[in-house]
Structure formats: structure tokens, C-alpha cells
Amino acid sequence: MVQSQTIPAVIRPPELAQLLREHPEVRLLDVRTPTEYETVHIRGAYNVPLDLLGEHGAEIRTNVAEPVVLVCQSGQRARKAEEALKAAGMPNLHVLEGGVNGWVAAGNPVVRRAERLSLERQVRIAAGSLAAIGGVLAVLLNPLFALLPAFVGSGLVFAGVTNTCGMAMLLTRLPYNRVATCDVAAMVRALKTGEPPAPSPRAETARRAPACPAC
């Protein structure tokens, strides 16, 4: 088994692709939302969303001795996941540089299903829309509406400084982002044993029934 000490703390996509070919026992832990995971993910990755990772940290630490590479969309959430698992006493952690975006940009294969907007794109769309609406209303109706883009800009600065995005947390609660579900307990069990990741309940349904145009 490859030793975690020989793997960079932040691993680039080409390095990870080679590592997985030579050492398939290395675990990939995708900490994005189930919807993002279902849309596109690296084959063999286990999905335990960031907001549920803390409660399973001790269990993962106790049962997974293999190196674990943390994956998100661009790398930011993976670093927060690394902090959470390190707080639980887990040493064998690594972060995929650039996340799934970087993996795809490097030409590596992924598993794709129905295309959906990533959480990062939703945040950019929501923030840009609020800033634009506030600016237009400030010009046409009342200068006080300029407070809206100022508030959005302040929120983005805060998110950048603290690496915590309140807008993203709110967006994850929307029905659009809860279409897919994740059996976290099953994922953690598979992660511990190295068995293939369990498909999401929605993915199972999609194989048994025709797709609905309204879904």
C-alpha cells in the first residue's frame, strides 16, 4: 500500500490520475452536495457532503488507513473538509488541486448524468443578479437601493476572507439542490471497506423508470 507521506498534500490532477492507476486502494472523498456529485464525479469517488462530514469524522478516521484525497468543485470545500477531518485526528489527507473542475480541464474521465448548475455558478448568478438589480433600482427609483449591491459585495469579501459563504449555504437548501439524495451511512461503510460507492436513490430510480421531462 502506498504511504500517505509520499503523496503531496495538494495533488495535481495528472499526479492523481497516475496514483489511482498504480494504487487503486487510494480513496477519493467527494464533499460536494449529492446533486453536484450526481451531475458529474470522478469514477470511484465516495460522496459524503461537507455539512455531514463532521459527524462521521471519527468513524472515518478509525476505519480508513489508506490515503484519502478530498475532492470538491474547485478546491475550497475540500480544504474545509480537510480541516474538519484533521480536527478529528485524521492524518492521511490530501486535496485535489482545482477539484472536479481541474480534473475535467486536465482531460481526465468522469461519470456524468443530467447537467445541473454547480453551487459555485449558482452563487455567482445570484450575487450578480442582486447587484445588478440593486444598481438599476438605485438609478431609477431610489439611491438607497445602492445598499443592495454594497451588501452583496461585502458578503463576497467576507466569504473570501473567511472561506465561508452564507449564500452558498442558503442555496444548498433550495429544492433544486436537493433533487438527489445521499445515503451517507452506506457511503461511509463503502469508504471503509473499499467497496464501490453506492449509487444515490435518485440514480437507482432513474435506471428503473423513464426520465420525466419536468424533472
Element (H, E) at 29: strand 27-30
- 0.75 surpassed by pTM: no
Q: Of 173 and 12, which is predicted with more confidence?
A: 12
Residues 70, 144, single domain; the answer is no
pLDDT tens-digit map of 92-127: 999 999 999 999 999 999 998 766 667 777 888 888
Percent with pLDDT over 70 in the chain = 83
Residues 28, 103, single domain; the answer is yes
The pLDDT assigned to 209 comes to 28
Res 176 pLDDT > 70 = no
Question: In 3D, which of 57, 99, 62 has the Cα closest to residue 82?
Answer: 57
Q: Which residues are catalytic?
A: 72
Residues 106, 123, single domain; the answer is no
Question: In 3D, which of 8, 101, 96, 60 has the Cα closest to residue 194?
Answer: 60
The pLDDT assigned to 19 comes to 95
Res 82 pLDDT > 90 = yes
Res 183 pLDDT > 80 = no
For residue 102, tell me if it sits in a domain: yes
Q: Average pLDDT over the chain, rounded to whole?
A: 81
The pLDDT assigned to 147 comes to 86
The pLDDT assigned to 175 comes to 66
How much is the average pLDDT of 150-172?
A: 76
pLDDT band at 178 (very low <50, low <70, confident <90, very high): low
Q: Give the CA distances from residue 79 to residues 13, 70, 197, in Å, rounded to whole numbers and listed in that order.
A: 16, 8, 22
Res 179 pLDDT > 80 = no
What is the domain range of residue 157?
119-171
For residue 214, tell me if it sits in a domain: no
Residues 12, 110, single domain; the answer is yes
Number of domains in the chain: 2
CATH at residue 31: 3.40.250.10
Res 205 pLDDT > 50 = no
Residues 35, 127, single domain; the answer is no
